[in-house]
Amino acid sequence: MRIDHVIYATADLDAAAAHVGAVLGLAAAGGGRHDRIGTHNRIVPFDDGYLELLAVADPEEAAASTLGAAIRARLASDGEGLFAWAVRVDDVGAVAARLGTEVTTIARAGFSAHLTGVAEAMADPLLPFFIARDPGVPGPVPRPGAPAIEWIEVGGHAPRLADWLGGAELPVRVARATPGVHALSVGGRELRS
The pLDDT, as a whole number, for residue 139 is: 60
When the pLDDT of each residue in the chain is averaged and rounded to a whole number, the result is 91
> What's the pLDDT tens digit per position in 66-97?
999 999 999 999 999 999 999 999 999 999 99
- pLDDT for position 145: 75
For residue 55, pLDDT beyond 60: yes
Q: Can you tell me the mean pLDDT for 28-53?
A: 88
Could you give the CA distance from residue 22 to residue 24 in angstroms, rounded to a whole number?
Answer: 6
The pLDDT of residue 141 is: 59
36: left (phi over 0), alpha (psi -120 to 50) or beta: left
pLDDT at res. 142: 61
pLDDT at 33: 84
User: What is the model's pLDDT at position 14?
Assistant: 95
Task: Give which of 187, 193, 150 is closest to 26, Cα–Cα.
Answer: 187
Residue pair 40/28 in contact by the 8 Å Cβ criterion: no
- How many Cβ atoms are within 10 Å of 171's Cβ, its own excluded? 12
Residues 129-188 have pLDDT tens digits of: 999 987 765 566 566 677 889 999 999 999 999 999 999 999 999 998 999 999 999 999
Taken in order of first residue, the domains within the chain and their CATH numbers are: 2-192 (3.10.180.10)
Q: Strand 189-192 to strand 180-186: parallel, antiparallel, or no bridges (unpaired)?
A: antiparallel
% of the chain beyond a pLDDT of 90: 77
Residue 134: the pLDDT is 76
Beta strands 2-9 and 50-56: pairing type?
parallel
